[in-house]
Structures are given as C-alpha cells and as structure tokens.
C-alpha cells in the first residue's frame, strides 16, 4: 500500500451547531480521515471502518503526517494498524471498494478533541470538551458519508470499540448499510468491563498533573495515562501471551514510573507498554472514549425500547451480519460477544458467527488479520 495522507471533514456552524446527546454543543467539528480505493460512479462501493480504542484513522499504508500528541515520531502511528486487511486483492480490496476510516470525535489524531483548539478561545478544549456517545459518533460520520454523496454502504466494519460503533451505525441507519462486521466486540458493556474502565479513569484523574483535564499548559498526566494503559493492556493481550512476550533481555531495571522500580521482566514489559502509549495518546481523549465505551448499551444508543425493537429494524432492513468472537478475549468476554449473536438470531437476522481460536487474546485482530480475512472477503464478495 502506498503513502496515504490525512484528509479533514468540517461540519457545523454558529447557526447550525452540532448538538450532542449529553447536551454539549459544538459550532464546528473536524474529523480526520483517510480513504483507500476509488468511489465508483454511483457511490455504491463504500465501506466505513471504525477504529478501536487507541487506534486512529490511519488503518493502512504509510502516513507521514500523523502527528503524535507530543510531536515525537512514533513508528506505530505511521504504519497502518490493518495494512494486511486493506489493499489491492486483500479482503478489503481497494480495486473494488472505497474504504473510509475516520478518527472519532474526541480523538487526538486530528479530529476535534480535548487537545484540539476551541475556535472560540483559541486554546485547547481540555475539560470543556463535551462528552460524546456512540450515537453522536455515528451521526457525525453519517455527515461525512453525506458529504461524499454516499447513500448506502456495502459494509460497516469495526473491531473492539469500533464494533460498538458499527452496531450503533447499523441500528441508527439500518437502510444505509448492507453488511455489518463486528469483531471482538459486543452488544452492551458489562459491569465487569465498566469496573475495569473505572479503574483507568481513577488512574488518570488522580494524577497530580491532571488539573481537572486542563493540563495542556503544563506537564501532562503521563503517570496516570501510563497506568490506565497498563490496566487495559492486560485485557488486550492474553495473559499467557504476556509471559511469552515479556523478554528478559530488554528488562530496564533502572526504569521507574514515579516511585516504583521494576522487579522482573513482566513488570518491565508492562511499564514499557505504559510509557510507549503516553507518547502517542492524550489522557482526556482516553477519558472521553472510555466514557463512551463504559455506557454503551445497544438499545439506548439506537433509541430503541429493547434489543428486540432494535434488531427488528435490522431484520426489516435485510442487513447481513458477520460476528467474530475470540475465544481468548479478556477485553470483550466471549459471552459478551455471543450476547450480540443471540439478539441477532432471535430477531432472525442473517448472521454468521465465527469463533476465532487464538492464543493472542483481544488484540488478535491486530496481530493475525489472516484469521479474519477469508470470512470478511467471502461476506463482502457476496454483496
Ligand atoms: C483497531 C485499532 O484501532 S487498534 C490500533 C491501536 N494500535 C495498537 O494498539 C498498537 C499497539 N499494540 C498493542 O497495543 C498490542 O500490544 C499489540 C498486541 C497490537 C502488539 O503490541 P506491541 O507493543 O507491538 O508488541 P508487544 O506487546 O509484544 O510488545 C513488544 C514491545 O515490548 C518490549 N518488551 C518486551 N519485553 C520487555 C521487557 N521485559 N521490558 C521492557 N520492554 C519489553 C519490546 O522490546 C517491544 O518494544 P517496542 O514496542 O518498543 O518495539
Ligand atoms: N489495543 C487496541 C485494541 C483495544 O481495543 C487499542 O489500543 O486500540
């Protein structure tokens, strides 16, 4: 895949502000996004991809212009997170499809977010950046599709938190999408997941530099954000995988996070993940997306009275679903993922459920896309 560059979509105005479901209002919203492939003449070959928690719009190829939050070059930012999935002849075949991926609202990779400048003050939004729900996210991205003149999508695809957004899009705009691919995601965030996310909120908000979210003129809450990542990372990678991945030869014994000196390769590995993460991510963005994820309930996001009501509209629209669950997932537990399948089956929606057997855990979709490509290619091929 050749170089790609970030594009920007602007929407909203003083007379037509973006109204968010929690009451927030924004006069102008910017979405950073990338596209791959060509939109055909009747605009009928588009696929909308939703990225996960800390991902960006840069899903494939090499993008030289993604700026990390601290302005330091981060290799993992410039390489697409799904380059093995998107490209000529790949599952998301750019010879056939036009793929779009946007950095979600509240993000820190170019879309409007807490670290971006409030047009009214010329200063970073910080604590004043509004809370954004999954429904808000897909309403904004539907505007991006309108701007392209795209009516109905071939598919929406989302892994992890992106899978929640794919569900929200498919149920809020049931007639605007033919196929839905949900990967390692679910229907409703469980109490356990909300508690894990709550610990991450506490880690960030109790950082001495947090300053209520208004830290951009001083030292950022790196300790809290690193700790939040360390809490979450254990859910992204299968616990056995951590033992395999934590190498002895790169232990950094003098490495400390605040006051703590690592004692073994496992602590050193986890500390490294935290320290690596804070170079590319913003704490306020983490809190906004964490909040969106924590409160996710498919029926609520779709303004439906029940899952039955919600999926009845999916059935009526004739959507086809492909749901992947990962048997070693500690982030979206398999039972969370199968709950989605159960609702779809009860509504008699055309759904194919694939359980991926992987020793990698939740991030299997990042590390071994080859386990997913044949099924996705088949589903899209029948479109
Ligand atoms: C769909 C989306 O939008 S998601 C896109 C978001 N992108 C990501 O999440 C990418 C970041 N990756 C991850 O978070 C996931 O861990 C994975 C599973 C995708 C792989 O992460 P990686 O960090 O690439 O691999 P891994 O978890 O094995 O860690 C390897 C790193 O740990 C280091 N390491 C290994 N053992 C130790 C140790 N004992 N002490 C210190 N460092 C260690 C390695 O040197 C390596 O360092 P590097 O990352 O600087 O090269
Ligand atoms: N590890 C990936 C997937 C988590 O959902 C991320 O940080 O976005």
Please work out whether the CB of residue 182 comes within 6 Å of at least one atom of ligand 2: no
Ligand number with the minimum distance to the CA of 249: 1
Alpha-carbon distance 378 to 279, whole Å?
A: 38
Cα–Cα distances in angstroms (integers) from residue 250 to residues 75, 76, 237, 263, 269, in the given order: 19, 19, 19, 13, 9
Q: Is 21 annotated as a binding residue?
A: no
**Which position has the token pair 């999916």?**
314
pLDDT of residue 76: 72
- Cβ–Cβ < 8 Å for 286, 204: yes
Cα–Cα distances in angstroms (integers) from residue 76 to residues 68, 81, 309, 368, in the given order: 10, 8, 41, 16
Domains annotated for the chain, with CATH where assigned, are 7-189+296-382 (3.40.50.1820), 193-287 (1.10.1740.110)
| Residue 136 falls in the annotated catalytic set | no
Q: Are strands 92-93 and 86-87 parallel, antiparallel or unpaired?
A: parallel
Q: pLDDT, tens digit, for every residue of 316-330?
A: 999 999 999 999 999
The tokens describing 142, both together, are: 């539907």
- Taking the CA atoms of 318, 319, 324 and 330 in sequence, report the sign of the dihedral they define: negative
| Residue 160 falls in the annotated catalytic set | yes
Q: pLDDT, tens digit, for every residue of 128-177?
A: 999 999 999 999 999 999 999 999 999 999 999 999 999 999 999 999 99
| Residue 207 falls in the annotated catalytic set | no
Please work out whether the CB of residue 302 comes within 6 Å of at least one atom of ligand 2: no
Residue 69 has pLDDT above 70, yes or no: no
254 pLDDT tier (thresholds 50, 70, 90): low
Q: Which of 207, 329, 358, 364 is catalytic?
A: 329
pTM: 0.95
Residue 68 has pLDDT above 90, yes or no: no
Measure 366 CA to ligand 2 centroid, in angstroms.
9
Instruction: Identify which of 318, 379, 330 has the alpha carbon closest to the alpha carbon of residue 353.
Output: 379
Atom of ligand 1 nearest to the CA of 245: 28
């Amino acid at each position: 895949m050749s170089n790609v560059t970030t594009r920007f979509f602007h929407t909203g105005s003083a007379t037509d502000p973006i109204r968010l479901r929690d009451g927030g209002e924004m006069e102008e919203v910017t979405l950073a996004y990338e596209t791959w492939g060509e939109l055909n003449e009747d605009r009928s070959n588009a696929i909308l991809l939703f990225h996960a928690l800390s991902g960006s719009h840069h899903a494939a190829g090499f993008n030289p212009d993604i700026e990390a939050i601290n302005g330091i070059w981060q290799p993992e930012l410039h390489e697409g997170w799904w380059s093995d999935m998107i490209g000529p002849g790949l599952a998301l075949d750019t010879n056939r499809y036009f793929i779009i991926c946007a950095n979600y609202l509240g993000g820190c990779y170019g879309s409007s977010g807490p670290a971006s400048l409030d047009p009214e003050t010329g200063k970073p939004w910080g604590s004043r950046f509004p809370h954004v729900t999954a429904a808000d996210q897909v309403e904004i991205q539907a505007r991006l599709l309108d701007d392209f003149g795209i009516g109905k999508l071939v598919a929406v695809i989302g892994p992890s938190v992106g899978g929640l957004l794919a569900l929200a899009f498919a149920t809020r705009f049931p007639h605007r999408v033919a196929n839905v691919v949900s990967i390692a995601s679910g229907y409703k965030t469980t109490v356990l997941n909300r508690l894990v996310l709550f610990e991450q909120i506490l880690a960030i908000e109790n950082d001495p530099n947090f300053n209520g979210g208004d830290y951009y003129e001083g030292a950022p809450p790196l300790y809290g954000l690193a700790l939040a990542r360390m809490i979450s990372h254990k859910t992204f990678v299968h616990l056995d995988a951590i033992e395999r991945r934590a190498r002895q030869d790169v232990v950094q014994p003098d490495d400390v996070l605040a006051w703590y000196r690592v004692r073994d390769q496992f602590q050193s590995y986890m500390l490294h993940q935290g320290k690596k993460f804070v170079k590319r991510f913003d704490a306020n963005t983490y809190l906004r997306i964490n909040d969106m994820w924590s409160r996710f309930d498919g029926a609520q996001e779709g303004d439906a009275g029940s899952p039955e009501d919600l999926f009845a509209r999916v059935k009526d629209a004739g959507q086809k679903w492909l749901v992947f669950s990962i048997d070693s997932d500690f982030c979206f537990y398999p039972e969370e993922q199968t709950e989605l399948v159960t609702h779809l089956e009860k509504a008699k929606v055309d759904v194919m459920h694939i359980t991926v057997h992987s020793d990698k855990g939740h991030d299997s979709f990042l590390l071994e896309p080859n386990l997913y490509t044949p099924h996705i290619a088949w589903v899209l091929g029948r479109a």
